Amino acid sequence: MEPKLVAVPEAIPEKVYTSERVGISKATHDNHLTLWKGYANKTNEIRKALHEAEVDPSKANQIYSQMRALKVNYAFAYGGYINHNVYFATMGGQGGPATGEVGKLIESAYGSFDHWAADWKSTGMAGRGWVFLGYDHAEKRVHTYIGDAQDTFPVWDHTLLLAMDVYEHAYYLDFHTARLKYIEAYMQVIDWEAVNARLRG
Ligand SMILES: [Fe+2]
């Protein structure tokens, strides 16, 4: 069976461009689209390579082998594709305090939205690549997590609700090294309705 391929939209979703009102520019998003497509293209390339790969346990090796190269890089490529899907799907809203069921989950886990917001900003300054808000199906609560790269620090049995890109390409053009200003701008354009839709599944 031929591998299923993934694709990103031809253009960034129109609502995302409303972020220009807080200083996250169209140019940043348009450049970001190229990177997003890169993750999708490499996901497809590796899916095809895995389809054609020789699956022989005697040749697989943890130091170097074709299987190691394909599997490790697959997690990076597909992880990058998924992370950016969520980043762009949940941007372009009015920001502010979280609404709906997600708002209630944040308040019960963090005491108040303001406390969660301080945690989110701090996590964003402490991470190297991503900040994630995940719904933990085991504990039935939300947590914020750092992702240093596309394929690091995920936690199982969670639904990814919100993903904030803190790689420099997400803000350097608009904010130079002032990452906190970018994070504060980003928080004003979170689409909480889209976040709630992800929780509902
Ligand atoms: Fe990115």
Q: Give the pLDDT confidence of 141-157 residue by residue, as tens digits.
A: 999 999 999 999 999 99
Buried b (16+ CB within 10 A) or exposed e, 2-17: eeeebebeeebeeebb
- Tell me how far the alpha carbon of residue 189 lies from the centroid of ligand 1, in angstroms: 17
Model pTM greater than 0.85?
yes
- Tell me how far the alpha carbon of residue 76 lies from the centroid of ligand 1, in angstroms: 12
- The partner residues of 165 in beta bridges, in order of sequence, read 130
pLDDT of residue 1: 81
Please name the amino acid found at residue 188: Q
- Tell me how far the alpha carbon of residue 197 lies from the centroid of ligand 1, in angstroms: 22
> What length is written for the chain?
201
Average model confidence (pLDDT) across the chain: 97
- The partner residues of 143 in beta bridges, in order of sequence, read 134
- Tell me how far the alpha carbon of residue 80 lies from the centroid of ligand 1, in angstroms: 8
H or E stretch at 142: strand 141-147
